[in-house]
Amino acid sequence: MTTQPLLDDRRRLPLRPMANKVPEATACFWIIKVLTTGMGETASDLLARVLGPIPAVALGGLALVASLAVQLTVRRHIAWVYWTAVVMVSVFGTMAADVLHVGLGVPYAVSTPLFLAALAAVFAFWYASERTLSIHSIHTRHREGFYWAAVLATFALGTAAGDLTATAGLGYLGSVVLFAAAICVPALAHRWTGLNAVAAFWSAYVITRPLGASLADWMAVGHPRGGLALGLEPVTLAWTAAIAGFVAYLATSQRDRRGGVAA
């Protein structure tokens, strides 16, 4: 008996797809997600202050492209690679929203629905192409491209929404309370009313952005603006260290590659 028939059968098998590139939505996932949103907010403001708006945007854009290039190159989920890309999306997404408001004078009341429309368009094209928005199906380059486009849109939307509530009278602490309550709604709706898991996931994902950004801003800004006056540098460094600690834990335990909440 020869092995040639076996080799012929193997050639006819389809190529094995990539492993899923997105971590499981565990408690650590949500904690890191909120931390990245706050760190991205203060880091963006810090870079703009130190380098100037235009160099900061250019540097943020280059870092985003580089981190996403690495993420798209690997064929499985790697905690450090994935969360580095998320951090860079957070920083650049903040800059994108701020450029519209500060640089072009677009009010937050206008930019917020614009970013919401952009996110809806990404979801519409993604679903029309793939028939799913599940994070458990990100195992092709095409789907991963849609996923990161959605992530970038959620960060820009969340930044604009958080700044809208903060400047509309709620302030940063009031915004924290508002979005902390709002993020519970998708989870409760999923549990008690049967809201689709994918819809619940993406709803909560969007809300993490204004929640984390409002919390970081409240910690960093001065007392006249209703903050704790801790400063941009300490808050950025502290949140970066927290992110690194949680990601190191996931990288060694690999708990983000099993279990979690289906979405």
Average pLDDT in the 212-239 region?
94
pLDDT of residue 11: 43
Amino acid at 162: G
Confidence of residue 163 (pLDDT cuts 50, 70, 90): confident
**Coil/strand/helix, residue 246:** helix
pLDDT, tens only, 174-220: 999 999 999 999 999 999 998 999 999 999 999 998 999 999 999 99
Q: What is the pTM of this model?
A: 0.86
| Alpha carbon distance 90, 7 (integer Å) | 47
pLDDT, tens only, 82-101: 999 999 999 987 887 777 77
| Alpha carbon distance 186, 106 (integer Å) | 30
Structure-block tokens of residue 17: 């797809």
Reference 32, options 176, 243, 216, 206; nearest CA is 243
Average pLDDT in the 211-236 region?
93
Tell me the β-bridge partners of 25: 261
Structure-block tokens of residue 169: 């009278």
Average pLDDT in the 109-131 region?
92
Higher pLDDT, residue 230 or 100: 230
CB atoms within 10 A of CB 135: 25
Contact status, residue 138 vs residue 147, Cβ threshold 8 Å: yes
Q: State the helix-helix crossing angle for 53-73 and 141-165, rounded to 10 degrees.
A: 150
Structure-block tokens of residue 18: 């990539």
**Coil/strand/helix, residue 131:** coil
Reference 96, options 128, 48, 139, 51; nearest CA is 48
CB atoms within 10 A of CB 122: 20
| Alpha carbon distance 155, 166 (integer Å) | 16
| Alpha carbon distance 244, 251 (integer Å) | 10
Mean pLDDT of the chain: 86
Residue 259 has pLDDT above 50, yes or no: no
Structure-block tokens of residue 25: 């939505």
Structure-block tokens of residue 71: 């993420």
